[in-house]
Structure formats: structure tokens, C-alpha cells
Amino acid sequence: MISRPFSLTAAAALLCAAFALPLQAAPAAPANFVPISPAQAQALGVVSQPLAPAGQGQIASLPAKVVVPVEQLRVVAAPLAGLITQVAVVAGQSVKKGQVLARLSSPGLLQIQRDYLQARQQADLMGRNARRDEQLYQEGIIAQSRYQATRAGQKEAEVAAAALGEELRLAGVAGGKHGITPEVAIVAPLTGEVLDAPAAIGTRVDMAAPLFTVGRLSPLWLEIQVPAALAAQVREGQPVQVVRSPARGRIINVGRQIAGTSQTVTLRARLDQGTDSLRPGQLVEAAVGAAPGAAPAGQASFLVPQGALVREGGKTYLFVAVAKGYQAWPVRVLGTTGSGALVAGPRLTGGLRVAVKGLSSLKSAWTGAAAEGE
């Protein structure tokens, strides 16, 4: 009978202690986790795609421009001031060396031809006089000084005629051609393609005015823009491939100047194969072989759309698909490549999926949850 009150008191104490114990906490969510179901993701427009490896030793999707090597370009200018009376070609047309591109009528040409003919006649006359005086000098009829004066006059006349003949040659008229013509034919200086043709029939042009640009289109060059952070991984001689094209070649020059606005370096590549489908001025994407070291040691690099990157607190993240939602993983941006970005991270692997659309909804949920937890 004495023990019952004691056991009732002990039971009451234990019950009170049980009510005083805290409830067991639910398992904590992973850091930077955004819970979202597939139905919610679809409603919010969240779209994911697999991580695309950048390729071992390769920097892909670099913006590039097709250009003609400078040593294969020629500007055809008006040799004299005059009127364009004929244009025989248009831009984009193939031409052969010596083919007539246009004809130019010039009053200045008439004057040069008259002067040349007169100079040529004078040189011929002085040549005959020199031969006559040479014979007279050998016969002892005239003094040596007279013969020397005649010879000097002959040389002077020959030089004057040669100078005017060179003017005619530069104007496109053969110096040895006798007769006068008011027109000069403007011809292609090499076999290639007319890249620009500002010349128009009936237009008056000044001397040295550009009329045509002609270029030889094999081989071609690529001017490639590479992020400055990746330029150190590119060397002369490394392979280059034009994306979605058979064109390929090798790097011939790595620029040393960084563009101020884009922070890119210009690479020049010589394309020796598969250039038939390319045109000067065409914008393309290129993949460039890179030396080891583009990504941190032990990490692979991946190409993602720039829109997949999320910046928060001075860091860059990718939303990686995990069980029951997405998790923000920090990454290192190695550089931008056109519409994409080259990234690396200690946890990134090729089997992951990352969000590429609907990131504003994910970021709002992420930053909102972080604010509530503070």
C-alpha cells in the first residue's frame, strides 16, 4: 500500500518529461536545393538538357569569320582620270588573269600616247645620228667631243621614251603600240573572283579610284575570336574545324592584343581543305584544338548555353537536376564561346542534366528559401 503513491508520482514525472522532449526534426534538405516536381517544372517552363562535353583538348563553338588572305587580294584602280564606258563583270563572278573587267575613256591617255610617239621618234632620230657620228669619228672626220655629245643626246632621248612607255604600260596600253586610242582596257591582275565592283558605266572617276577588288579564294583564312582566358591554350599549328562544314585547317597566328569590349583574342587559321562551301565574309562557328590546361587539373570542361548560368553572390552556378528537384552547383567559367560558355566544376560529369530554361523561377525559389532561412 505504501508503494502505490510512489509509483504514481514516478509515472507522472515520466509523462511530464516526455511532453517536455522536443519533436524529432525532419531530414534536412541538401544545400542550395530547390524542391520541384516534374509537373511543376513543366508549368514553370523549366527545361533541362544533358551536359555537353567540350571535347578532350578542344574549344568548340567559337565565333569566326571567313576572310581572304591579304596576299591573295588585289585592288584594281583607275590608271587615269576618265569616264567608264564599259563594265564587263559583276561582284561574285570568276575571272582569269588578263580578262577585261572594264574600259575607261581618258583625255589624259591621248596626251600620253602623243608624247610617247614623239619621244620614240626623237629617240630613233638620235640613234641614227649617233650611228652616223660614230662612223665619222672612226674615219677621223669629226672630233671625239661631237661624237660623245651625240651619244649623250641619244641616251637622253631613249630614257624619255622609256619613261613615257612605262606610263602607258601602267595605264594598260602596250608601250610599243603605235597609234592613238582614247580607251584603255582594265584587266584582272590574277585568276580569282571579283569580290567588290563599285565601278558603274557612265561614272567619271579620278586617277587611282578603286574600281574592283579581285581575290584568289584558295586557301581561305578564318579569323576566330577566342576568350582571353583560353587563348593561352592555343598554339600555332593546332587543328581547326569549321562546325557543320568539311572545311578544316590549322592555326597560323595567335594574336597578342585583347579586344577591350569582348575580352577576346583573334586567332587566324589557314583552311586548306573543304572550302568550296565557304564565302568571304561568312560568319561561322569553329572548333579549335587546345593544349592541356583549359580546365583545372582533374576536371573536365563542358559547353552550356550562356542562359544556363546563374550568378549569385559573386559566384556562378548551374541548376543540376537531382532527386525531387534541382540543386545549384558552383562552377568555374573558363570562357564564353559565341552563344555558349565553357565551364568546369569538381562535381560535373557527363551524365548530369542541367536547367537551360525557366531559370528565373528556379532562382526565385532558391533565393527566396535562402532569405527565409536567415
Of the candidate ranges 43-47, 298-302, 334-338, 344-348, the one whose mean pLDDT is the lowest: 334-338
Query: To the nearest whole number, what is the mean pLDDT of the chain?
Result: 84
Say yes or no: 147 and 273 in one domain: no
The span from the CA of 130 to the CA of 152, in Å, is 9
Whether residues 186 and 101 fall in one domain: yes
Q: Are residues 261 and 237 in the same domain?
A: yes
Same domain (yes/no): 312, 253: no
Out of 257, 273, 289, a domain closes at 289
Whether the pTM exceeds 0.75: the reply is: no
Q: Give yes or no: residues 86 and 186 share one domain.
A: yes
Mean pLDDT along residues 249-268: 91
Q: Is residue 355 part of a domain?
A: yes
- In angstroms, the CA 273 to CA 114 distance is 52
> Predicted confidence band at 177 (pLDDT cuts at 50, 70, 90)?
low
Are residues 283 and 338 both part of a single domain?
A: no
Q: What is the CATH number of the domain that holds 224?
A: 2.40.30.170
* Domain-ending residue, one of 201, 216, 231: 216
User: What is the rounded average pLDDT of the residues 232-242?
Assistant: 89
Does pLDDT of 48 surpass 70? Answer: yes
Q: Are residues 113 and 141 both part of a single domain?
A: yes
Query: CB-hemisphere CA count at 13 Å for 140?
Result: 0
Is residue 354 situated within a structural domain?
yes
- Whether the pLDDT of residue 174 is over 90: the answer is no
Q: Is the pLDDT of residue 290 over 70?
A: no
Domain boundary among 216, 232, 267: 216
Asked whether residue 131 is assigned to any structural domain, the reply reads yes
pLDDT surpasses 90 at 61: no
Please state, in angstroms and as integers, the Cα–Cα distance from residue 139 to each residue in 9, 99, 142, 147, 152, following that order.
163, 55, 8, 12, 20
Q: How confident is the model at residue 360 (pLDDT cuts 50, 70, 90)?
A: very high
Residues 324 and 346 in one domain: yes
- CA geometry: angle at 188 spanning 207 and 165, to 5°? 55
Contact call for residues 206 and 78 (beta carbons, < 8 A): yes
SS3 per-residue string spanning 4-18: HHHHHHHHHHHHHHH
195 and 99 within one domain:
yes
CATH code for the domain in which residue 193 is found: 2.40.50.100
Output the pLDDT for position 178: 54
pLDDT of amino acid 18: 36
Nearest alpha carbon to residue 287 among 237, 227, 241, 341: 241
Are 187 and 91 part of one and the same domain?
A: yes
If asked whether residues 175 and 116 sit together in one domain, one would say: yes
DSSP 190: S
Q: Is 263 inside a domain boundary?
A: yes
For residue 145, the domain's CATH number is 1.10.287
Say which range, 11-20, 164-173, 212-221, 301-310, has the weakest mean pLDDT: 11-20
Residue 94 lies inside a defined structural domain of this protein: yes
Domain total for the chain?
4
Q: 10 lies in a domain?
A: no
CATH for 344: 2.40.420.20
Shared domain check, 280 and 225: yes
Residue 367: predicted pLDDT: 85
State pLDDT tens for residues 302-339: 888 888 999 998 899 999 999 999 999 999 887 666 66
Q: What domain range is 87 assigned to?
A: 79-105+182-216
Residue 207 domain flag? yes
pLDDT in tens, 92-130: 999 999 999 999 999 888 888 888 888 999 999 999 999
**Does residue 23 lie within any of the structural domains?**
no
